[in-house]
Amino acid sequence: MADREKSLEESVWNALKAVRYPGMSRDIVSFGFVERVEVADGDVVVRLRVATHKPEAAEQVRREAEQAVAGVDGVERAHVDLHVDQPATRDPAAAQQQAVSADPELIPDVEHVVAVASGKGGVGKSTVAANLAIALGREGHAVGLLDADIYGPSMPMMFGITERPRIQGNRILPFEKYGVKLMSLGFILDIDTPVIWRGPMVMRGIEQMLADVEWGVLDYMIVDLPPGTGDAQLTITQRVPLSGAVIVTTPQDVALIDARKGLAMFRKVNVPVIGIIENMSGFVCPHCGEQTDVFKRGGGERTAEVLETRFLGRVPLDPRITAGGDAGMPIVVEDEAGAHGQVFHALARAVADEVAKQAGKPKLSIV
Ligand SMILES: Nc1ncnc2c1ncn2[C@@H]1O[C@H](COP(=O)(O)OP(=O)(O)O)[C@@H](O)[C@H]1O
Ligand SMILES: [Mg+2]
């Protein structure tokens, strides 16, 4: 493609990013509604695909997108195609019949939804999600934490909350602790129900935690996803309007293979990967101060490099982290002024920085 067309295409993406979904703060590019931009000389054709119950809102988006594109320097003719999908309904049987796509109306007042994911369980995904959410809150952002792990929702324990959520009218109130609004599948699902039966209930449970919870206006919602890259993860990844995903891994090579699978899953559904966090990276002996790399070291960094994503940082292995998780007080609360506090604040800043960058970057269509 000629350079001129390439730069025109970029200008068109930028113009589309100024178009907001009616009544919402987020733009249509970040929602993933722009399926394709085609440029041939001065002719531009844009294809939008929107999942909504309100076709008039989608039509308004189409008109505004067309105006925005027509206003770009160098564009002679602008045409915007619109395809409206029905959002998946709350009826799980019907939902299974429908194409899966993100529904922005589920959480209109949330600016960035960031998934924390891992290729397998036990790598510290929930620990990272909890501490990251709290650190982002302490950095001055309005933060929510959604525990969507069907296999082992652990936020009730990590936050030390044993009550049931309160209901106000027909809304569920999130818990608020350590400056974070919190909701977990653990508060909703009966954990003794076998996972295989929980499966079909999961999307309904997750939709309820998005749409029926009084989240209010949030800068970030951190989502603790179930580990792995199977159907359940893929469905949630597609259905929740994600801005990006953070992948947690341990440093050894076998774990990194799973991290790569996680990355591939997000790229497949066009969710930007914000970066990789290496957890359980090095153990500092509390007695002699010597560092041991229990699970090797540096694997996360190498993987990030190979897969062309950002290495966000590493979290050391420390029994205090385990103890904090079990006691309902995440380490970033207990050790705010210490080394662990610094680690998670730095991670929070790296995530915020990368999310802002991703939001400002034209999302090129995947071919
Ligand atoms: N950096 C760490 N140092 C020590 N223990 C950790 C660390 N990260 C996680 N853990 C512990 O490992 C266990 C698994 O972590 P968890 O966050 O539940 O993993 P996942 O959500 O990936 O299954 C928990 O007991 C947790 O407290
Ligand atoms: Mg977990």
The rounded distance, in Å, linking the Cα atoms of 138 and 262 is 29
Beta strands in the chain (DSSP E): 34-40, 43-51, 77-85, 110-117, 143-147, 167-168, 171-172, 175-177, 180-184, 218-224, 244-249, 273-284, 291-292, 311-317
Separation of CA 128 and ligand 2 centre (Å): 9
Res 94 pLDDT > 60: no
Q: Mean pLDDT, to the nearest integer, of 330-346?
A: 94
**Ligand 1 pocket, Cβ-based, cut-off 6 angstroms:** 118, 121-127, 154, 227, 279-280, 315, 317-318, 321-322, 325
The rounded distance, in Å, linking the Cα atoms of 173 and 167 is 6
The rounded distance, in Å, linking the Cα atoms of 312 and 33 is 28
User: What pLDDT was estimated at residue 232?
Assistant: 73
- The atom of ligand 1 lying closest to the CA of 280 is 1
- The atom of ligand 1 lying closest to the CA of 316 is 1
- The atom of ligand 1 lying closest to the CA of 123 is 22
Separation of CA 201 and ligand 2 centre (Å): 19
Q: Mean pLDDT, to the nearest integer, of 128-136?
A: 98
Res 97 pLDDT > 50: no
Res 330 pLDDT > 90: yes
Q: pLDDT tier at 274 (50, 70, 90 boundaries)?
A: very high
- Through-space distance between the first and last CA atoms of the chain, rounded to whole angstroms: 15
3-class DSSP assignment, residue 339: helix
Among all ligands shown, which has an atom nearest to the Cα of 262? 1
User: What pLDDT was estimated at residue 363?
Assistant: 44
- The atom of ligand 1 lying closest to the CA of 320 is 4
The rounded distance, in Å, linking the Cα atoms of 69 and 93 is 39
Separation of CA 322 and ligand 1 centre (Å): 6
Residue 101 · residue 237 · CB < 8 Å: no
User: What pLDDT was estimated at residue 367?
Assistant: 33
The gap from C-alpha 125 to its chain's centroid, in whole angstroms, comes to: 13
Closest CA to ligand 1's atom 26:
322
Res 93 pLDDT > 50: no
Q: Mean pLDDT, to the nearest integer, of 147-171?
A: 90
